[in-house]
Amino acid sequence: MTIAGIDHASLPMQNTDAMLAFYRELGLDVVELGPVVSMYAGSQMINFHRPELWQRDGFTLRARAATPPCGDLCFVWNGSSDALGKLLADAGAAIEEGPVTRHGGRHADGTSVYVRDPDGNLLEFMIYA
């Protein structure tokens, strides 16, 4: 038996309304399930915990020091660099770095662009040849 992959990641969220609007603008499928908001990029899922969950005294199923912003996420972009730039501009995300060459999870080099979401998490968008 082996680990087959990553099912999802979970992060605390501070600016709920801005975060939901931002990720919807990026085209992610956003599903609100009470204190947890699941965001899907294809078959990958990111759970964002609303403040009323991650700030609750008894909530221990998270990293002990996890407070926004604590995420560094990389998405694979299946389009052109120009189309990505337009999407990010439409979402109000300023490019911090890129395009730059980076080695990615597919054991190959790609071109990356870095931005931040409304909570300040770092988002990388990787374009493979």
- Which residues are known to be catalytic? 124
Residue found under tokens 């439409």: 90
Which one, of 50, 15, 42, 13, lies nearest residue 26 by Cα? 42
> Beta strand pairing status for 97-103 and 72-76?
unpaired
Cα–Cα distance between 49 and 68 in angstroms, integer? 10
